[in-house]
């Protein structure tokens, strides 16, 4: 069974649907809009559970409830994230700490809730959604870039812990994808972003989802500690 955090909209929704199409039982978690989550469940028949991934105890309790009601969690997709953009000069402590708490802390919290069971059953997949901005940095995003960069390091360290137990940990670093979050970017800024993407367009959520589905499969059993960049060539290294 797979759980996708932030799984009721955007990239998370695409991931949840793609995993379901692969024949997996899927659950989504969300933190905010209950009406949107109910609509998601009605449209997809994928159950949605509400908690804040930045809250350690809520993650432990939420995952325990999911396992009691649905079954053991063998695949964790840490997708939930927020932005609180601004230059360091203008960024508040709350803007910094909230992004770190949710984007990076959420990965730790969810892994703590699910990784022990994967180890015990000797099979598991942890897939963390990083960002091109965690690899290359981005003006006005010291909080977001730090959190996403941390995710890449977290993934490599966790991969070393899980390898002997049959548990892989990998990351995907999406570039700019046509989601609501990117749609909020001013048109002039978005035009500049697209002009720096060699393929000349934004990515699609399902292109990220297909990468997740591969890493979650048995075909990716020899891949761990890796970051798969899906960014249209925007950042190459």
DSSP 87: -
Q: Which residues, including other chains, have CB under 8 Å from residue 219's CB and lie 6 or more apart?
A: none
pLDDT band (50, 70, 90) for residue 1? very high
**Cβ pair 162, 224 in contact under 8 A:** yes
The pTM of the full predicted model, rounded to 2 decimals, is 0.95
pLDDT in tens, 61-88: 999 999 999 999 999 999 999 999 999 9
Domain segments of the chain as ranges: 2-177+205-230
Residue 189 pLDDT: 84
Q: Which fold has domain 2-177+205-230?
A: Rossmann fold (3.40.50)
d(CA 93, CA 87): 12
CA angle 63, 33, 172 (to 5 degrees): 60
Judged against a pLDDT cut of 80, whether residue 184 lies above it is answered with no
Residue 185 pLDDT: 78
What angle do the packed helices 10-21 and 205-215 form, to 10 degrees?
A: 50
Tell me which residues are annotated as active site: 144
d(CA 152, CA 127): 11
pLDDT, the chain, mean? 96
Q: Which residues, including other chains, have CB under 8 Å from residue 149's CB and lie 6 or more apart?
A: 130, 134, 135
Judged against a pLDDT cut of 90, whether residue 180 lies above it is answered with no
d(CA 127, CA 174): 13
């Amino acid at each position: 069974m797979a759980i996708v955090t932030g799984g009721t909209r955007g990239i998370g929704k695409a991931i949840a649907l793609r995993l379901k199409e692969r024949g997996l039982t899927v659950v989504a978690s969300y933190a905010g809009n209950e009406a949107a989550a109910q609509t998601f469940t009605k449209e997809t028949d994928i159950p949605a559970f509400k908690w804040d991934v930045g809250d350690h105890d809520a993650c432990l309790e939420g995952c325990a409830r999911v396992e009691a009601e649905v079954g053991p969690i063998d695949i964790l997709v840490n997708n939930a994230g927020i932005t609180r953009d601004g230059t360091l000069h203008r960024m508040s402590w709350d803007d910094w700490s909230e992004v770190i708490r949710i984007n990076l802390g959420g990965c730790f919290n969810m892994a703590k809730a699910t990784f022990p069971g994967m180890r015990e059953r000797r099979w598991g997949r942890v897939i963390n959604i990083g960002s091109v901005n965690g690899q290359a940095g981005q003006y006005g995003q010291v909080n977001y870039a730090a959190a996403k960069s941390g995710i890449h390091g977290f993934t490599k360290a966790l991969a070393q812990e899980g390898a002997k137990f049959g548990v892989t940990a990998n990351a995907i670093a999406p570039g700019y994808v046509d989601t609501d979050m990117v749609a909020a970017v001013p048109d002039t800024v978005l035009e500049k972003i697209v002009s720096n993407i060699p393929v000349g367009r934004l990515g699609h959520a399902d292109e990220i989802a297909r990468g997740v589905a591969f890493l979650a499969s048995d075909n990716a059993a020899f891949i761990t500690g890796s970051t798969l960049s899906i960014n249209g060539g925007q950042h190459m290294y």
